[in-house]
């Protein structure tokens, strides 16, 4: 187990280098950040050259990457072009997004599992077909549509909730954005759980549990659901990373100044240190989430061993 974790952590190194280098190349290949700083005006060549030297932009790309990574590991993610350190942006953005993501994941787990179990046990009945249809609709409608529609109806038209989230972002205000963010994944969790439950509900050990005279709820939760969770957990693990990055649209709609919002700002303003810095952290989050999922397997299924 310990050796397995160490090996997995070591495997992350090349993945980490590969992904961050790609992002670095893409961001720096797209445009000239120094030009971008000056907006519409052409910069004074001398100033531009000085800035290039300051940001190491006059060096070859691989060297730039090396220098950048070196700085990152000493905790210096560079400054955004407005002079604010990127780490400062992260310190405000990540807690917000993590909170939003947590709200979304909790909604996904509770609603998705309940719907999945319900439909999985009633395959082919009206409840099942209804929910299945609904998940299809949810999956096909993009988040910016559901987000704005909910915001308009609940927030503006009926005034049930605040249409935008305040900077403090209390939990109550994050419920709707969390739901919007969760919606598509929620549909997937429902479908995954449904399939898994339906498949396992005919398993011999479920029949044994019934033959033992256990109450229905116990058969479903302890025996059936417990065995059906593995694919769902896999999905949820990778989804945490996707949600954090994918909060971009939701955060824009509800004016939450989280990771997605900052990333978007960084891209629009060609603010390279912000983009690369945030993405780097997201890569790490994603990799760690995946490792966590792999370790969770052993908890869910004792037949899985790590060597």
202 lines the binding site for another protein (CB under 8 A): yes
Residue choice 168, 217, 302, 307 for contact with another protein (CB under 8 A): 302
Total residues in contact with another protein, by rule CB under 8 A: 22
Q: Which CB sits closer to another protein, 157 or 222?
A: 222
Site string (127-166) toward another protein, x via CB under 8 A:
----------------------------------------
125 lines the binding site for another protein (CB under 8 A): no
302: left (phi over 0), alpha (psi -120 to 50) or beta: alpha
83 lines the binding site for another protein (CB under 8 A): no
- Which among 8, 1, 7 is positioned nearest to 289, based on CA atoms? 8
40 lines the binding site for another protein (CB under 8 A): no
Residue choice 26, 145, 175, 210 for contact with another protein (CB under 8 A): 210
207 lines the binding site for another protein (CB under 8 A): yes
213 lines the binding site for another protein (CB under 8 A): yes
* Stretch 216-255 residues interacting with another protein (CB under 8 A): 218, 222-223, 226-227
Q: How far is the CB of 223 from another protein (least distance, A)?
A: 5
Residue choice 17, 136, 208, 292 for contact with another protein (CB under 8 A): 208
Q: How far is the CB of 289 from another protein (least distance, A)?
A: 23
Q: How far is the CB of 218 from another protein (least distance, A)?
A: 7
Q: Which CB sits closer to another protein, 71 or 122?
A: 122
3 lines the binding site for another protein (CB under 8 A): no
Q: Which residues bind another protein (CB under 8 A)?
A: 202-205, 207-215, 218, 222-223, 226-227, 300-303
């Amino acid at each position: 187990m310990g050796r397995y974790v160490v090996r997995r952590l070591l495997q992350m190194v090349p993945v980490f280098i590969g992904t961050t280098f790609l992002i670095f190349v893409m961001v720096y290949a797209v445009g000239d950040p120094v030009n971008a700083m000056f907006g519409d005006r052409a910069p004074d060549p001398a100033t531009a050259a000085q800035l290039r030297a300051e940001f190491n932009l006059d060096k070859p790309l691989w060297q730039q990457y090396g220098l950048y990574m070196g700085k990152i590991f000493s905790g210096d993610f560079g400054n955004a072009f407005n002079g604010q350190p990127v780490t400062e942006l992260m310190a405000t953005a990540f807690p917000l997004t993590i909170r939003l993501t947590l709200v979304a994941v909790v909604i996904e787990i509770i609603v998705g599992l309940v719907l999945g179990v319900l439909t999985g046990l009633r395959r082919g009945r009206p409840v099942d077909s209804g929910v299945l249809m609904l998940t299809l609709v949810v999956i096909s409608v993009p988040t910016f549509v559901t987000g704005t529609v909910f915001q308009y109806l609940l927030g503006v038209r009926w005034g049930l909730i605040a249409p935008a989230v305040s900077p403090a972002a209390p939990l109550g205000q994050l419920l709707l954005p969390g739901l919007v963010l969760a919606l598509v994944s929620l549909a997937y969790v429902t479908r995954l759980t449904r399939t898994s439950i339906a498949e396992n509900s005919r398993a011999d050990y479920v029949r044994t549990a019934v033959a033992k005279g256990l109450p229905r709820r116990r058969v479903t939760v302890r025996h059936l659901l417990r065995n059906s969770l593995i694919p769902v957990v896999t999905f949820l693990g990778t989804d945490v990373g996707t949600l954090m990055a994918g909060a971009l649209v939701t955060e824009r709609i509800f004016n939450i100044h989280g990771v997605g919002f900052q990333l978007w700002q960084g891209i629009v303003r060609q603010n390279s240190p912000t983009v690369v810095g945030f993405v780097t952290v997201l890569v790490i989050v994603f990799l760690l989430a995946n490792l966590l999922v792999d370790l969770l397997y052993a908890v869910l299924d004792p037949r899985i061993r790590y060597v």
